[in-house]
Amino acid sequence: MKYDGKNRRILFLVLSSLLIFLPGVVFAAAGTNLTAISGNLTGAFTQIAKMLTAGAYLAGAAFALGAIMKFKQHKDNPQQIPIGQPIALIFIAAALMFLPTLYNVAGKSLFGDMETGKGTLSGSTF
């Protein structure tokens, strides 16, 4: 992807907004207690993860709708719209819809299930 002036401005805007607003969320009403600060940071990242999950579901639904429209266009005029385009859109939609579930399963596999306490590191040390 080529970064022209417009893309650089958008990237700068997103990164600067994260740098401006994230510390305010983390240190808000935290005081000087390091445990409170880490709790606020965890809460902020939880909200960001929920937002990304919702975005993935919405983008997956949009790609699925786009794929349906491209299938219709291919049916109407097969020379103009190749069949690979709607098929690729279907695969992208499926990947986006499955991505939050994949993150959830990978997180529980790597770090354990925090609700039940199972899967945490335990055992003997040598």
Single pTM value for the model: 0.59
DSSP H or E stretch at residue 75: helix 34-76
pLDDT tens-digit profile of 3-35?
Answer: 566 677 777 777 777 666 666 555 555 556 777
CA 86-90-94 angle, 5° bins:
170
- Indicate the domain borders of the chain: 5-111
Number of helices (H) and strands (E), helices first, in the chain?
A: 3, 0
pLDDT tens-digit profile of 64-123?
Answer: 999 999 999 999 999 999 999 999 999 999 999 998 888 888 888 887 776 665 555 554
